[in-house]
Structure 1
């Protein structure tokens, strides 16, 4: 079935029904006229109902329901996201189901500047009882060549620590604390709300149209079909 047919099936049904009405009238075929009239009324009524979902029709109360219910739509999306997907229980289950090895802190450790740690070590040695002895061997300048090896060893040690099962279990336990979970949920809710605030009524209408409007076209088709059947029954009863 082509895309053109899917887009124009409503028009095709209306044209066929109207043709039956015209043919039945001018050819004096009351059964055909009644079938066409009922089919046209069913198709047009359903077409108007579909149109009224997305567009405001002056004088018709309740039309344009999707754009007019814009705020309720946004609220419903947020409620769905936070109450069905990002609940504290689901976040907790996500953390629990992902084993400890899944938490990889190596990229973070690689970016950490450990020079202040080396400087603090030098200061500690300088202020300790070894400070005088250090001064005899060139002072703190003598320790500068040790900076890069110290940083490399520290990163290696921190990486080994971060990859240990005991450390990761402690990290998971901390992440599962109620206050942490609540904070995560609040941040997710804030992100969802910010994204929803970017939506406009027109964008919401376009999103829903894209999802369902071509399928709603079948309402017009079946409105015409059932209208025609009812018209045929009515014509036969009157005959």
Structure 2
């Protein structure tokens, strides 16, 4: 069972507020101030993470990842097209398969697409995701906590998750029949290339914002949960400092 760090830190801040109300005198004021500032910092950071994926009415910049989804998907498309068509000289490949039936040829093309996905470089896709996050309302807070470096730990799990998803979408078993229909038409390499691009596009069109969100949301929330904790900690320290300063000035 995993513990939600956001709930724990914000819950602790609430307990501080309750405890401060029960205390009398200046000690109670300090504890209340500490709890209020801690809760403010924690909730603000939690909301910033939430706003990466969900639209919040009235809050500009919320839901930035779904809003920029098409750009993200186009980046994935470019990577797949570049990797596959750089890897395979389609004209030479089809020429070398002369004499093979369309089923055997389509199986080999599907296998080549699968191999291309194994070698796809998703680092650039991750960098685009970082650009989206850092350009959001969350970016300013991340800038104070290390900016891009604060999200570096997401790179490997993101690449692994996205590669697993793409491999499942473009498995040879799923592509074999579609490619066989393309090749059996007897068209030339240029025509087949265009149809292959259309087929790849149709598979990518099945990638919805909800799918991408499900792939990366839990991963990001898990990795960035500590930012909520630090928001509460720093908020609490500021609140405590402000309260003590007010007491000293008023003394």
Q: TM-score, normalised by structure 2?
A: 0.51
Offset at residue 191 of structure 1 (A):
4.4
Offset at residue 81 of structure 1 (A):
3.3
Which consecutive segments of 4 or more residues in structure 1 shift more than 3 A?
A: 80-83, 182-192
Offset at residue 224 of structure 1 (A):
0.9
Offset at residue 11 of structure 1 (A):
0.8
User: Quick one: distance in 2 between partners of 1:23 and 1:67?
Assistant: 41
Report if the CA contact (8 A) 1:55-1:64 is conserved.
yes
Report if the CA contact (8 A) 1:35-1:227 is conserved.
yes
Report if the CA contact (8 A) 1:23-1:32 is conserved.
yes
Q: 1:81 to 1:234 in 2, by over 3 A?
A: farther
Q: 1:183 to 1:215 in 2, by over 3 A?
A: farther
User: Quick one: distance in 2 between partners of 1:57 and 1:91?
Assistant: 45
Higher relative contact order (CA 8 A, sep 6+): 1
Q: 1:213 to 1:187 in 2, by over 3 A?
A: farther
User: Quick one: distance in 1 between partners of 2:193 and 2:204?
Assistant: 16
Tell me how many residue pairs correspond in the alignment.
Answer: 154
Offset at residue 20 of structure 1 (A):
0.7
Pairing 1:215–2:196 present: no
Structure 2 unmatched runs, 5+: 105-187
Structure 1 unmatched runs, 5+: 96-103, 113-178
Report if the CA contact (8 A) 1:54-1:65 is conserved.
yes
Q: 1:37 to 1:210 in 2, by over 3 A?
A: closer
Asked which structure has the greater CA Rg, the reply is: 1
Q: TM-score, normalised by structure 1?
A: 0.54
User: Quick one: distance in 1 between partners of 2:88 and 2:30?
Assistant: 65
Q: What RMSD over aligned residues (CA atoms) do the two structures have, in Å?
A: 3.2
Pairing 1:198–2:197 present: no
Q: What residue in structure 2 maps to residue 51 of structure 1? A: 50
